[in-house]
Amino acid sequence: MSRSKYLALFIFAVVGLGLIIGYLNVPGAWYAGLSKPWFNPPNWIFAPVWTVLYVLIAVVGWRSWFISMRADLKALWVTQMFLNFLWSPAFFGAEKPALGLVIILFLLATIVLFIVRARKVDPASTLMFLPYAAWVVFATLLNGAIVMLN
């Protein structure tokens, strides 16, 4: 299979799994009833933001396998993907914001570690992960505020 087909497969898998997890863990009445901080964005913003981020995450994953080919970057990419996909079932599915906060803190640490390790060997991946890191910082603050308010 060519590299471009693998890239398409990465994008399809990451975006597809993200959509499935989002569909299976829709914020419902429980979430609507929570107190939220003043900086909580409207619900409609999350799907388009995550879709763009998932495309970037997929490209970075593909680059980790086919460009940098470093085992540590592959392991960090898989770890962040696992934590990313675990957050929604923990926060929304199990209705456990505190558990979500623990998961997202580990996710953020993994993303930052990936950026630090990739910056010299794959600057493009580093740049593509910066919006992801910024969004996860915001999501961590939001998650933390929800834990504190509830």
Domain residue spans of the chain: 3-149
Amino acid at the residue 111: I
Do 66 and 124 form a contact (C-beta atoms < 8 A)?
Answer: no
Q: Cβ of 36: how many Cβ atoms within 10 Å? A: 14
pLDDT digits (tens, 9 = 90+) for 95-124: 999 999 999 999 999 999 999 999 999 999
CA 75 vs. chain centroid, Å, equals: 15
Q: How many angstroms from the chain centroid is the CA of residue 26?
A: 16
pLDDT at 134: 98
The CATH architecture annotation of domain 3-149 reads: Up-down Bundle (1.20)
pLDDT exceeds 90 at position 1: no
